[in-house]
């Protein structure tokens, strides 16, 4: 008798997870997500689009150059070339999937410009609602795919290992019920960790849970110190802050101080469209000054805001602000983690049977600072590549004893709030040795209190050990004396 094929388990239902699930056909896939209805991913909040060299006078070489420049040349050059070469085909695949990209009157794709790009090469869908448009199209295809079984409202809390290979997951639902799902392979597509910061553009679920689970199982990690801060989140009360898309600056908005003086004047050749790490530090510094602050002045932007920037307009109006008539208060916010589970370009981690894709993975493509609109691109291109690998077949599970590896209990809510403030002040856009050391000691002393503390300890250790400034990791002190375990 032939045994039924074990499913591929994909943990996470954002763009990367759904693309992987679709591309894995005809292999059976179990797609798991924390929210009951599959919402709540950072993908749905993405206002940027997809970067691709499609315009006249643009090319793959220019896209590669801008990606390397933004990443402080800490990137894996072969990964960058793969991504930039895959970009046009990625856009074409999404177009065929039904994503309604914004177009010019002549029918051609409308290309925008964002920070770090030397030319206009950003493809949007629905103006500043690109992430939501991609999610709608992908979800419709996933729900219609006979090989995908979707289950929401569950948290993957443990990995099952057999003979040193990942062989399944254990999930828990909101009522505390547990279930074991044996798997041919497990894919982590759980997003980033911005929600561990007091001010972030990420939803609450982007808390590094997948990364913490992989670390508990012994998977190698890479570049944990590189956390990107978006320079223009709307400075309002709350944890998950609304973004003011970089495309606003591409359309002519300016960064100014309280007196209306341009913040970026003379600081970078690209001015307001400098790479995100440069702009985020300038905004951070302006906000630290007595009676200081930073604003985004978008009053010069022409055209129909309802068509071009519907998300930004609606968000601002909901907070009593009108971007067409007044400058908007801004703050940096934790936005994207360049680090994660170390993988190759096929998504393989150091632990057999465990894969990662999207923001939870690190294959070196983003370097020390991600180029704007390369994230949705990588999520789709990486998901398609990984899905094809999984569809081709996975090595059989090796014999051996089963054992569980658990992520562990979560921090109590009040402790999580304190951790978010600790990381915001010690591990923000500008870092100093003493603050990093004290924060690391606090997390090390409380490592048993919850998995978030152990993850934060690893992040802070990586930040302490990189004494030089590089990309999004910026040291405000002249040097450091970090010693492992001190």
DSSP string for 471-484: TTB-BSSS-----T
Quick check: 433 and 389 in contact, CB under 8 A? no
Burial bucket for residue 307 (CB in 10 Å: 0-12, 13-18, 19+): exposed
- Rounded to whole angstroms, the Cα distance separating 215 from 235 reads 34
Burial label for 486, CB within 10 Å (0-12, 13-18, 19+), is exposed
Q: Which helix (H) or strand (E) holds 353?
A: none
Q: Given the DSSP bridges, would you call strands 178-182 and 340-342 parallel, antiparallel or unpaired?
A: unpaired
Pair of tokens at residue 343: 């993988």
Q: Which of 183, 95, 86 is nearest to 385 (CA)?
A: 86
Q: How far is it, in rounded angstroms, from Cα 95 to Cα 101?
A: 7
What separation, in Å, do the N-terminal and C-terminal C-alpha atoms of the chain show?
Answer: 59
Cα 43 → chain centroid:
8
Q: What is the DSSP letter of 430?
A: S
Residue 133: closest CA among 100, 107, 108, 103: 100
In the residue annotation, 324 being an active-site residue is answered as: no
Identify whether the C-beta of residue 307 lies closer than 8 Å to the C-beta of residue 127.
yes
Q: Which residue has the tokens 């402080």?
A: 72
Q: What share of the chain is helix, strand, coil (3-state, %, to 5)?
A: 35, 20, 45
Exactly one of 276, 308, 370, 431 is catalytic; which is it? 276
Q: Beta partners for 180?
A: 170
Query: Please, what sign has the CA dihedral across residues 207, 208, 210, 214?
Result: negative
What is the per-residue burial (b if ≥16 Cβ within 10 Å, else e) of 325-362?
eebbbbbbbbbbbbbbbbbebebbbbbbbbbbbbbbbb
């200081």: which residue's tokens? 292
Cα–Cα distances in Å, from 368 out to 19, 227, 277?
25, 8, 9
Structure tokens at 113: 């410009």
Instruction: Render 437-449 in DSSP notation, one character per residue.
Output: HHHHHHHHHTGGG
Residue 419 DSSP SS3: helix
Q: What is the DSSP letter of 348?
A: B
Q: Which residues are catalytic?
A: 276
């Amino acid at each position: 008798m032939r045994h039924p094929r074990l499913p591929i388990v994909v943990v996470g239902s954002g763009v990367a997870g759904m693309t992987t699930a679709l591309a894995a056909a005809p292999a059976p896939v179990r797609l798991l997500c924390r929210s009951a209805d599959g919402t709540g991913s950072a993908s749905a909040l993405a206002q940027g689009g997809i970067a691709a060299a499609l315009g006249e006078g643009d090319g793959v070489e220019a896209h590669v150059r801008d990606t390397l420049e933004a990443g402080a040349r800490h990137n894996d050059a072969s990964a960058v070339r793969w991504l930039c070469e895959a970009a046009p085909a990625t856009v074409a695949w999404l177009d065929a999937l039904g994503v309604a990209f914004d177009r010019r009157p002549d029918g051609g794709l409308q290309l925008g410009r964002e920070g770090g790009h030397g030319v206009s090469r950003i493809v949007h869908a629905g103006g500043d609602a690109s992430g939501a448009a991609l999610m709608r199209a992908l979800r419709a295809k996933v729900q219609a795919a006979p090989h995908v079984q979707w289950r929401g409202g569950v948290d993957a809390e443990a990995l099952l290992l057999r003979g040193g290979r990942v062989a399944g997951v254990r999930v828990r639902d909101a009522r505390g019920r547990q279930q074991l799902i044996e798997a041919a392979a497990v894919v982590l597509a759980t997003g980033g960790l911005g929600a561990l910061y007091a001010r972030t553009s990420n939803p609450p679920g982007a808390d590094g849970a997948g990364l913490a689970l992989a670390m508990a199982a012994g998977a190698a990690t890479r570049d944990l110190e590189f956390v990107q801060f978006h320079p223009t989140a709307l400075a309002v009360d709350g944890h998950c802050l609304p973004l003011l898309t970089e495309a606003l600056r591409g359309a002519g908005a300016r960064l100014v101080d309280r007196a209306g003086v341009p913040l970026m004047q003379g600081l970078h050749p690209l001015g307001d469209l400098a790479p995100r790490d440069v702009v985020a530090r300038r905004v951070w510094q302006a906000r630290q000054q007595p009676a200081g602050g930073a604003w985004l002045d978008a009053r010069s932007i022409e055209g129909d805001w309802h068509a071009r920037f519907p998300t930004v307009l609606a968000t601002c109006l909901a907070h009593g602000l009108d971007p067409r008539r007044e400058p908007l208060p801004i703050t940096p916010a934790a936005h994207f983690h360049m680090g994660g589970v170390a993988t190759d370009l096929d998504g393989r981690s150091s632990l057999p049977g465990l894969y990662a894709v999207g923001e939870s993975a690190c294959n070196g493509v983003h370097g020390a600072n991600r180029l704007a609109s390369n994230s949705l691109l990588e999520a789709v291109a990486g998901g398609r590549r990984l899905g094809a690998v999984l569809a081709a077949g996975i090595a059989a599970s090796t014999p051996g004893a089963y054992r569980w590896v658990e992520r562990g209990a979560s921090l109590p809510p009040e402790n999580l709030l304190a951790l978010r403030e600790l990381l915001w002040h010690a591990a923000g856009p500008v870092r100093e040795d003493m603050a990093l050391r004290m924060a690391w000691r606090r997390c090390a002393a409380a490592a048993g209190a919850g998995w978030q503390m152990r993850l934060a300890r690893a992040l802070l250790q990586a930040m302490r050990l990189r004494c030089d400034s590089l990309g999004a990791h910026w040291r405000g002190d002249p040097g450091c004396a970090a010693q492992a375990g001190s």
